[in-house]
């Protein structure tokens, strides 16, 4: 692992690191904020998964998350959204290929050799961070924006017991039923739609749900709201009678202005779960 940068930040440290990933067969970069409390021992950790076209850097610099994480003594992990490198497959469209890993393990060519973002987030990166930094892997929570909200919700529901809470900002709620999802799931996973279900938050909510608190915010002026399909997740939550808070925020769009506005709420929400016992 290589240290790219480490900066003092709200009493703690905002670092950026790279490592050779076996899972993605390329070098991967991630950001990690450690609060002041990490100097004395392991602290709880909140994962933030970013959206389409983003890298580790977008939320790290735009979401204002460190402000509130420092207040609660919580570490923040900012993974990249896809594999990178000259030998990694890509597409001319912004919503497929580099920057658009969709948090799945691709089974189809040309994506299969590198695009294993599910296993990277679920297995490789947590192991690396747990072995090298003062974080408590028994106290994890997860959040994300847009494509990252999709990833956060599906990871949380597919890995019972891993995360104490899950939240999302404007998540892609029903990718199997949306133009933001069908294209990517078919490209990465193939034509058998039964393999898509575990990567669809609305379908997973109906089938399995989440054993813990859920918080989702979406702006009413989100320019992509028809692709996000928040109503599909709301219907699934109602059918399952899942503990969840689903909010439509008047006037807000899909931008980081929206994310940063409600970040305080989300970090406090996770802090309640992370420190519950």
Catalytic residues: 146, 222, 254
- The rounded distance, in Å, linking the Cα atoms of 30 and 16 is 6
Task: Please classify residue 152 by burial: count the beta carbons closer than 10 Å to its beta carbon, then call 0-12 exposed, 13-18 middle and 19+ buried.
Answer: buried
- The rounded distance, in Å, linking the Cα atoms of 12 and 48 is 18
Give pairs for 133-138: CB < 8 Å, separation 24+.
133/32, 133/34, 133/38, 133/75, 134/34, 134/38, 134/39, 134/41, 134/42, 134/43, 134/75, 135/34, 135/38, 135/42, 135/43, 135/44, 135/45, 135/75, 136/42, 136/43, 136/44, 136/45, 137/45
- The rounded distance, in Å, linking the Cα atoms of 150 and 153 is 5
Residue 110 structure tokens? 């040309």
Cα torsion 149, 155, 160, 161 to 10°: value is -80
- The rounded distance, in Å, linking the Cα atoms of 75 and 140 is 10
């Amino acid at each position: 692992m290589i240290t790219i940068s480490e900066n003092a930040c709200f009493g703690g440290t905002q670092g950026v690191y790279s490592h050779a990933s076996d899972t993605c067969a390329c070098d991967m970069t991630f950001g990690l904020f450690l609060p002041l409390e990490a100097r004395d021992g392991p602290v709880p950790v909140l994962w933030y998964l970013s959206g389409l076209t983003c890298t580790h850097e977008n939320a790290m610099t735009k979401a204002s998350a460190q402000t509130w994480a420092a207040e609660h003594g919580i570490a923040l992990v900012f993974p990249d959204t896809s594999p990178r490198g000259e030998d990694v497959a890509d597409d001319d469209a912004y919503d497929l290929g580099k920057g658009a890993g969709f948090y799945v393990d691709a089974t189809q060519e040309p994506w299969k050799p590198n695009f294993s973002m599910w296993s990277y987030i679920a297995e490789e990166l947590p192991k690396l961070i747990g072995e090298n930094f003062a974080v408590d892997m028994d106290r994890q929570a997860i959040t994300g924006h847009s494509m990252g909200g999709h990833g956060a919700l599906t990871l949380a529901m597919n890995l019972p017991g891993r995360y104490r809470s899950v939240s999302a900002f404007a998540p892609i709620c029903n990718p199997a039923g949306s133009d933001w999802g069908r294209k990517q799931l078919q490209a990465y996973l193939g034509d058998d739609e039964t393999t898509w279900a575990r990567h669809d938050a609305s379908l997973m909510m109906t089938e399995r749900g989440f054993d813990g608190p859920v918080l989702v915010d979406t702006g009413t002026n989100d320019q992509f709201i028809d692709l996000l399909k928040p109503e599909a997740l709301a219907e699934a939550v109602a059918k399952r009678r899942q503990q969840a808070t689903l909010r439509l925020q008047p006037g807000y769009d899909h931008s980081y202005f929206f994310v940063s506005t409600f970040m305080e709420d989300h970090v406090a929400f996770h802090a309640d779960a992370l420190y519950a016992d």
